Amino acid sequence: MTKADIINEISNATGVEKNEVSKTVEAFMTSIKNTMAKGENVYLRGFGSFVVKRRAEKTGRNISKNTTIIIPAHNIPSFKPAKVFVEQVKTQVKVK
């Protein structure tokens, strides 16, 4: 499913015009990105959590040059689905 598919589905379900739904979806995603860029987590009850995870500094290898490099500590975005969400997906999976 793409962002356009989500916008179409929300528009059809609510009767709101697609351009308004598109603005809302874009604002929602921008809000999450900006919040996480500040190092804060976003919690959506019943859906999941967008969490900023900290990766420690580590040593890596450049195999083409056979050298060691230091990968600095950094943050990465992560999503942890809510238990309700996980259970719904588990029960809906159809084995082919």
What is the number of other CB atoms lying within 10 angstroms of the CB of residue 32? 15
pTM: 0.77
pLDDT at 37: 95
Question: How far apart (Å, rounded) are the C-alpha atoms in residues 6 and 14?
Answer: 12
Task: Give which of 35, 30, 31, 79 is closest to 53, Cα–Cα.
Answer: 79
Tell me, what DSSP letter sits at residue 73?
A: -
pLDDT tens sequence across 21-55: 999 999 999 999 999 999 999 999 999 999 999 99
Residues 41-96, CATH architecture: Irregular (4.10)
Which segments within 1-96 are labelled E, that is strand? 42-44, 48-55, 58-62, 67-71, 74-81
